[in-house]
A = this chain, B = another copy of it.
Amino acid sequence: MNLLFGYILIINFVIFAALKFIIIIIKRITKIIPYMAEKLTKRAENYSQWYNELVVKADLAENSAVRGSMVIKPYGYSIWEKVQAALDKMFKDTGHSNAYFPLFIPKSFFSKEASHVDGFAKECAVVTHYRLKKDENSGEIIVDPEAKLEEELIVRPTSETIIWNTYKNWIQSYRDLPILINQWANVVRWEMRTRLFLRTAEFLWQEGHTAHATKQEAIEETERMINVYADFVENWMAVPVIKGYKSENERFAGALETYAIETLMQDGKALQAGTSHFLGQNFAKAFDVKFTDKTGSLDHVWATSWGVSTRLIGALIMAHSDDNGLVLPPKLAPIHVVIVPIYKGDDQLQQIDEKVLPIKKKLEEKGISVKYDNRDTHKPGWKFAEYELKGVPVRIAIGPRDIENNTLEIARRDTLQKEIKSQEGIEDYIEGLLDDIQKNIYQKALNFRTENTFKVDTYEEFKDIIENKGGFVMAHWDGTPETEQKIKEETKATIRVIPLDAVEEEGKCIYSGNPSKKRVIFAKAY
């Protein structure tokens, strides 16, 4: 009896211990689930869904209650602030000043430059009234029909017309030229199919608008600014570009020549990252802007305009990020280094705090931005996943063993490699590592582009690559808009750019067989 009782006791004890163990495991799983469940769709599964999820999960942006307009969240906006700061300095270093022109453009201004209005009329938000009132019958807020504008106002989709109407009063003589102005602003284009950062009804951008005394000077400015953009996208965003000019079909509405930088995304689709337009005298003629040159004769002023937008953030995400989340180039990352303590109990945390704070200070003295995440509400594993998702370039973990050994665990986001380093001189090491990461990300994107750029000489091959592989396809084209249009209809591929550095060679158009002197870049595009 006693034996049996003892036996039952033991069994009970074992069962109890097992249950307790199972409960612990369940608890752990439950804690992991929140970030397991939110795991990103993989790029290979559904690239488009991966992108949409990543933008939201990494707290960059989200759709708003207003059709097609996004909310740019603080983390996403802080990347935009870095983009703005770098570009703004480049613009000022090349002699430009900022100014601000009205959001609204009178409808009649649009009609003045014919191809311009054709390009933008289909996607304009139009202000027709200037007052709301309470409906006397229903008590509802309605648009006051008596407050109708005499002339409708267009919410700017771009500002050439309002700016050239203003320049008219600023320019009389060659001494008033050049005018080199940039504007940081919001613009609205009523896109039907929108996508966070890539295509939204409202977006943020900068638009440069310059006025020159000679054609030559205006062309030089157009080229200068496409080079500034290329410099920024390659050296800050770490995305390689192809510089070129656009075919007639793809030109800006109102431009004589559009220069563009074209980038390649990981799904093999192209993304236009920036454009610089030589506008000739089109807007000066439309708005009657003339100047007296040095010889005393009157001529119309020469113009350029150039812009990049929050779309760049879309390019940044799609060029580098992986199945774990964002990968940000250090030069644009809001946080360079996150430090995560691994500890049990307040004593250990305090020990770690004492080690971390001087390291943080030394890093910050080098201009490196550091976040020390010692919150006790989240486990290290959760934090690791979180900062990987947010693309923080370097993670430092420090636990009791590191305290003993005077070491740190350094993980780089781009390769996900980890290594143990001495705490001695860690600030110099991290500084160098950030440079390495910036270069490595660029090199990786460049390798990807090289591997996904194809020279093609037959239309069959062309269709096969466009349909099955994607990427940039270098092919001969007969130079006609009709051929480009046909290829587009049949394959959805367009001419992205006619590269500035295209090699002269004899060839035949892949579509018409007509002679061609150089290859152009085709791709499906965002």
Contacts and interface: CB of A to CB of B under 8 A. Distances in A.
B140 A64 contact: no
Contacts of A104: 66, 69, 125, 188, 202
A458 interface: no
Kindly report how many copies of this chain are found in the complex they form together: 2
A188 B71 contact: no
A2 interface: no
A98 interface: yes
A65 B106 contact: yes
A204 to B, nearest CB: 7
A463 interface: no
A74 B102 contact: no
A117 interface: yes
A129 B103 CA distance: 16
Interface residues of A, number: 63
B101 A74 contact: no
A110 interface: yes
A417 interface: no
A199 to B, nearest CB: 15
Given A66-B105, A132-B117, A99 B125 contact: no
B130 A123 contact: yes
Interface in A157-195: 162, 165-166, 169, 175, 181, 185-186, 188, 190
27 contacts: A64-B101, A64-B166, A65-B166, A66-B153, A69-B104, A71-B100, A72-B100, A73-B99, A74-B97, A74-B99, A77-B98, A77-B99, A80-B100, A81-B98, A102-B202, A103-B186, A104-B125, A110-B132, A111-B141, A121-B131, A122-B131, A122-B133, A125-B129, A126-B127, A127-B128, A128-B129, A128-B143
A130 B152 CA distance: 12
Interface in A423-478: none
Interface-central residue, A106, A126, A140, by most chain B CB under 10 Å: A126
A46 interface: no
Nearest to A163: B71
B66 A162 contact: yes
A124 interface: yes
Given A130-B190, A166-B71, A110 B141 contact: yes
Interface in A47-98: 62, 64-66, 69-74, 77-78, 80-81, 97-98
Contact of A64 (B71, B102, B143): B102
Interface of A: 62, 64-66, 69-74, 77-78, 80-81, 97-107, 109-111, 117, 121-134, 140-141, 143, 152-155, 162, 165-166, 169, 175, 181, 185-186, 188, 190, 202, 204, 377
B132 A121 contact: yes
Contacts of A131: 121-124, 126, 190
Contacts of A188: 103-104
Nearest to A122: B131
Nearest to A187: B103
A111 B123 contact: no
Contacts of A169: 62
A137 to B, nearest CB: 15
A126 B106 contact: no
A102 B71 contact: yes
Interface-central residue, A111, A130, A133, by most chain B CB under 10 Å: A130
A169 B74 CA distance: 15
A66 B106 contact: yes
B71 A202 contact: no
Contacts of A71: 99-102, 166
Contacts of A100: 71-72, 77, 80, 204
A77 B70 CA distance: 27
A175 B74 CA distance: 17
A152 B166 CA distance: 30
A140 B111 contact: yes
B97 A121 contact: no
Nearest to A139: B111
Contacts of A102: 64-66, 69-71, 202
A274 B276 CA distance: 39
A175 B377 contact: yes
Nearest to A125: B127
Contacts of A129: 125-126, 128
Given A64-B162, A71-B102, A111-B140, 6 more contacts: A66-B102, A69-B104, A72-B100, A121-B133, A122-B133, A128-B129
A461 B152 CA distance: 50
A205 to B, nearest CB: 12
Contact of A99 (B65, B72, B154, B155): B72
A123 to B, nearest CB: 7
A463 B471 CA distance: 78
Contacts of A122: 131-133
